[in-house]
Amino acid sequence: MSTTITHPPTDILVLGSGASGAAVAWRLSNRGFNIVCLEQGRWIKPEEYPNEHADWEIQARTNWAFDPNVRGLDEDYPINVDESPIDPLMFNAVGGSTIHWTAHTPRFHPSDFRVKTLDGVADDWPLTYDELEPFYDTYDELMGCSGINGDPANPPRKERPMPPLPIGPDGERIAKAFDRLGWHWWPSDSYVNSVPYKGRKACNNCGNTGLGCSLGAKGQTDVAIWPEAIKNGVELRTNSRVFRVDTDENGRATGASYYDAEGNENFQPAKAVVLAMNGIGTPRIMLNSASEVYPDGLCNSSGLLGKNLMFHTYAMVSGLFQDDLKTYKGALANMILCQEFYETDQSKAFVRGYTYQVARSSGPISTACGHMFGRVPWGAEHHAQFARRFSDVTVVGVIGEDLPEEHNRVELDPDLTDSNGIPAPKVYYELSTNSRKQLDDAIENAEKVLHEAGAAQILATPFLKVAGWHLMGTARMGDDPKASVVDRWGQAHDADNVFIVDGSVFVTCAAVNPTPTIGALALRTADYIDRERSDLKS
């Protein structure tokens, strides 16, 4: 019979070391709290990243794939996607999915917090853009934001820490087409260094932004936040697979139980627990933390835990040009964006809108396998077709606002487990009619801009299955305990020492990448804990 290893208690126990967990650990350790962070994955050495190796594109589809079901690493857990047309994408390591992201980092618009008031759909957030703005600024400084002020589609804001990344000749070509059409565009905000920043090098434009960065030029929390947090005294414990948040007879958290690398059961006592395991991982563990006090899962009196899953819906429209602009050079998805069609247009058959994220093409294997412009056929014409496509494809990616619906949800699978026997999540998701109409409109307009830019041929992918980068909404925030899981500070309605700081708390998902908003909300929650919860500090 095995014995549980019990560790000395800590003030705050953070579960997850990615975009939000790192931010909370950094902020609270700066304010004198004792912090332990449990991370399911490991530290990754810079030389391990695929961009250090000639076979990087093969690794990108095997042991470094975005999809944990494809990677199947020891630190991963499987996900049942039989009832979802979108595959959830995530990464377990110190830094979490910031290791695997392309670091394109636009902010929400003020209107994104008020969609019920403005458009009569979903719900308003219990906070505003103005309340979140100073935390956006702090997170930009922490991660290192490259960008430029003056975007007419967004509010005036503090100057970025770094100038924007160069948009390159391929970006200029698309930008001029937007200009001729009279459509908005702006250089992307990026957590990729355009110049050396805080001891980290500038991007060398190798093009592999989504596969880690051996230079430290990309804003990953393992290089941008954790070194300072550890200097502050945070204990970051890797290879620690949490399976339960423990509670007492009053429903308050007492800590968390986890398996270490040797399979031993451990218990970490804490005055408060902060969950930061992403919009699928967090409800998974909360559902698995059911008890006599919480028969339906931790802090689930509302019945909404795991429900209202939002992914963002994606389509891709690729233009094939004939001017050899070397479109594989530069940060992959950090060129320019267009928000001409971001807000609700009453003349359209759908509500809310979408953003265009203009992206570059990738390497030779991606070109040959058709990940940007259809598979290159085998046979006598293979090399000629390959030469025509390689370095000549520009992508107009569509990111549409995915409205919350309760039937889109995460549950515990009754049969599938990870290697420690912890139930795996099962995802149920359906593409809504509103989202399909958004994507159809976006594809039509993307084809216009690519034609205007001079594309010789255009290929549209109407819906991307491998697009589940953004996991949101499954433990939503709100003022009403009957209609939300956490309050406006990320504190659970059912237990005053349980906090959630990842994308689970999103009320709506806007039509932009969520990480800056996740980071800002996490810092805001940490600020609340420091300001209002002196009882949690030793």
Concatenate the DSSP letters of all residues of 411-455 into one string.
Answer: EEEEEEE-TT-PEEEEEE----HHHHHHHHHHHHHHHHHHHHHT-
pLDDT at 426: 98
Domain residue spans of the chain: 5-360+392-536
Q: How far apart, in Å, are the Cα atoms of 510 and each of 90, 126, 463?
A: 20, 15, 18
5-360+392-536, what's its fold?
Answer: FAD/NAD(P)-binding domain (3.50.50)
pLDDT at 327: 80
- CA–CA separation, 54 and 309 (whole Å): 38
- Can you tell me whether residue 365 is helix, strand or coil? helix
- Written as tens digits, the pLDDT of the chain (538 aa) is 479 999 999 999 999 999 999 999 999 999 999 999 999 999 999 889 988 888 888 888 888 889 999 999 999 999 999 999 999 999 999 999 999 899 999 999 999 999 999 999 999 999 999 999 999 999 999 999 999 999 999 999 999 999 999 999 999 999 999 999 999 999 999 999 999 999 999 999 887 778 889 899 999 999 999 999 999 999 999 999 999 999 999 999 999 999 999 999 999 999 999 999 999 999 999 999 999 999 999 999 999 999 999 999 999 999 999 888 888 888 878 889 999 999 999 999 999 999 999 988 888 888 888 777 778 888 998 998 888 888 888 999 999 999 999 999 999 999 999 999 999 999 999 999 999 999 999 999 999 999 999 999 999 988 888 888 999 999 999 999 999 999 999 999 999 999 999 999 999 999 999 999 999 999 999 999 999 999 999 9
User: How many Cα atoms are found within 13 Å in the side-chain-facing hemisphere of 65?
Assistant: 17
pLDDT at 348: 96
pLDDT at 59: 87
> Would you state the structure tokens that stand for residue 161, as one six-digit string?
């820490």
pLDDT at 506: 98
Which residues neighbour 383 within 8 Å (Cβ) at sequence distance 6 or greater? none
> Which ranges in 103-214 belong to alpha helices (H)?
115-119, 129-143, 168-181
Which residues neighbour 245 within 8 Å (Cβ) at sequence distance 6 or greater? 15, 253, 255, 256, 273, 275, 285, 286, 289, 298, 498
pLDDT at 385: 86
Question: How many other C-beta atoms can be found within 10 angstroms of the C-beta atom of residue 291?
Answer: 15
- CA–CA separation, 532 and 538 (whole Å): 14
Q: Which of 183, 221, 143, 442 is nearest to 312 (CA)?
A: 442
Number of H helices, E strands in the chain: 13, 17
- CA–CA separation, 511 and 503 (whole Å): 14
pLDDT at 50: 86
- CA–CA separation, 124 and 518 (whole Å): 17
Q: Which of 464, 474, 492 is nearest to 400 (CA)?
A: 464
Residue 244, beta-bridge partner list: 257
Which residues neighbour 144 within 8 Å (Cβ) at sequence distance 6 or greater? 161, 162, 191, 192, 193, 197, 198, 200, 219, 224
Phi/psi of residue 78, nearest 5 degrees = -75, 160
pLDDT at 153: 93
pLDDT at 171: 93
- CA–CA separation, 521 and 140 (whole Å): 13
pLDDT at 294: 98
- CA–CA separation, 309 and 284 (whole Å): 12
pLDDT at 237: 98
Computed over its alpha carbons, how large is the radius of gyration of the chain?
22
